[in-house]
Amino acid sequence: MDLDPALAALRPLGGFFVLRASRPSPPRPLPTLAHAYAPDYGDTGPDVHVHVPVTADPPAFPLADPLARRVRKVADALRAPEARVAASVAQQGLAARLWSVALACAALTGRVPDLAPGLLRWDPDATAPDDLWLAEVRSRPADTATLADVVLTAHLAPLTVAVHNRYGVATGLLWGNAASALAGAGRELNRWARRHGRTDTAERAGALTAGLLAHPLLAGTGTLTGTAFRRRSCCLYYRVPGAGVCGDCCFPRPPGSPRSPQAPRPS
């Protein structure tokens, strides 16, 4: 099976897996992810409080700073106490979207779309999950090396650099986020496939997930047991007021709060 121009096979899997492709075009001009990763924006500083309501940009929206806009959006939604907390959550959310699309295409069709940052438009004002539009569907093979090139090299490496440089988030934490997002996408795809009697899809998803977690950029970020993942870092979500630790966190409970109950992370 090959990819269809609309990527329709992804739609039954739900919002994290859907990718809008080719037509219709976005309802308004949107920046590309290549623009979001650009290194020439000013430093926001790692400890800036960011409860700033998101307002409309002027017509030249694609020239705005989409990464900072997304971090402000997440910070406002979560009431995050520090910019680095919102930046970490925003980075993991985008990583989850990219992994979900790539892994689902690979497991369902044996092909993966070229997700080049210059082809993917992104709406930093959208609610979760991140809204992505692919300008053109270019089919590529769905082996582990290609998936690593499509997601890790093309997206998560420059995104990690941008978030680290601009918000002071540790690179080890960000690669832990990337691994957690990959494991989560694989787990959700496995559940969907088994519910629908698609054991072949579930097995391919599992093999690809394990292979990608062995990549040098992700190796050592955590331990995969079946579809369960336990990471060796923390995404900082516990610092959000009223939050707890995530299901795959290295901490059994929020640091400094030994009696705090675990709270689920928002989906």
Q: Does 2 map to a domain?
A: no
Q: What is the pLDDT of residue 232?
A: 96
167-205 tens-digit pLDDT: 999 999 999 999 999 999 999 999 999 999 999 999 999
Beta-strand pair 120-123/131-134: antiparallel
Q: Does 249 map to a domain?
A: no
Residue span of the structural domain in which 23 resides: 8-29+63-218
What does the block give as tokens for 50? Answer: 């960011």
Q: Does 18 map to a domain?
A: yes
Q: In residues, how long is the chain?
A: 267
Indicate the burial class of 10 (C-beta count within 10 angstroms; 0-12, 13-18, 19 or more). buried
**One-letter amino acid of 260:** S
Q: What is the DSSP string of 79-100?
A: T-SSHHHHHHHHHHHHHHHHHH
Q: What is the pLDDT of residue 28?
A: 75
Residues 6+ apart with CB under 8 A from 264: 244, 247
Task: Report yes or no: 186 and 205 within 8 Å, Cβ to Cβ.
Answer: yes
137-171 tens-digit pLDDT: 999 999 999 999 999 999 999 999 999 999 999 99
Predicted structure pTM score: 0.87
State the pLDDT confidence band at 63, using cuts at 50, 70 and 90: low
Q: Does 180 map to a domain?
A: yes
Domains of the chain: total: 1
Q: Does 238 map to a domain?
A: no
75-102 tens-digit pLDDT: 999 999 999 999 999 999 999 999 999 9
State the pLDDT confidence band at 224, using cuts at 50, 70 and 90: very high
Q: Does 41 map to a domain?
A: no
Q: Does 50 map to a domain?
A: no
Q: How far apart are CA 113 and CA 250, in angstroms?
A: 33
Q: Does 126 map to a domain?
A: yes
